[in-house]
Amino acid sequence: MTRITVSVDGVSCTDEVEPRMLLVHYLRETVGKVGTVIGCDTSNCGACTVHLDGRSVKSCNMLAVQADGHEVTTIEGLAKDGRLHPMQEAFHENHALQCGYCTPGMIMQAIDLVGQNPSPTEDEIRHGMEGNLCRCTGYHNIVKAVAAAAGAMSSERSDS
Ligand code: FES
Ligand code: FES
């Protein structure tokens, strides 16, 4: 077993883990962050996407020990002071989910995308989200939601 300390949604967690444990299993089973879900376990679907030090990663594609000393943000860490993140709001407002299984990963990926490119075109959104699959195939509204959130996030920045 290996001792790791990871900041998860702003809380420092120190745990003994098997060196082969995947980050997604650590988040769900040890830390209890079940909002991060597993769709494939083979880095294809993006359902398990979280942020590591502010950038999106597929948490089934790395080991928990690789997150030692780093900051992980999950879908459960996005809302602040009872307010949803603008990306969460936009998914809600634009009906960008059906069963919702892909949604946590979609939102985490979309936030990273907009962080890198604050005014993405539709093509750039589709390209930036291509590692995240939706089995309900609601892609049109997902793209609309990401564009709407990008607008909302840029007006928030200009207001502050
Ligand atoms: S569960 Fe990680 S990419 Fe599918
Ligand atoms: S909303 Fe069902 S998988 Fe995307």
Return the bridge partners of 72, or none: 8, 52
Instruction: Please provide the CATH number assigned to the domain covering 86-159.
Output: 1.10.150.120
Q: Is 100 in the pocket of ligand 2 (CB under 6 A)?
A: yes
Residue 59 CA, ligand 1 centroid: distance in Å: 7
**Residue spans in the chain of domains classed CATH 3.10.20.30:** 2-77
Architecture (CATH level 2) of domain 2-77: Roll (3.10)
Query: Angle, to 10 degrees, between the axis of helix 86-93 and the axis of helix 139-159?
Result: 140
Question: What gap in Å lies between CA 72 and CA 54, rounded to an integer?
Answer: 8
Q: Is the pLDDT of residue 158 over 90?
A: no
Q: Is 113 in the pocket of ligand 2 (CB under 6 A)?
A: no
Cβ proximity of 135 and 141 under 8 Å: no
Q: Which helix (H) or strand (E) holds 106?
A: helix 103-116
According to the model, what pLDDT value does residue 108 have? 98
Residue 14 CA, ligand 2 centroid: distance in Å: 33
Question: What gap in Å lies between CA 143 and CA 43, rounded to an integer?
Answer: 22
According to the model, what pLDDT value does residue 11 have? 98
Residue 44 CA, ligand 2 centroid: distance in Å: 15
Question: What gap in Å lies between CA 157 and CA 160, rounded to an integer?
Answer: 5
Cβ proximity of 22 and 4 under 8 Å: no
Q: Is 40 in the pocket of ligand 2 (CB under 6 A)?
A: no
Residues 73-85: tens digit of each pLDDT: 999 999 999 999 9
According to the model, what pLDDT value does residue 138 have? 84
pTM for the whole thing?
0.96
**Residue spans in the chain of domains classed CATH 1.10.150.120:** 86-159
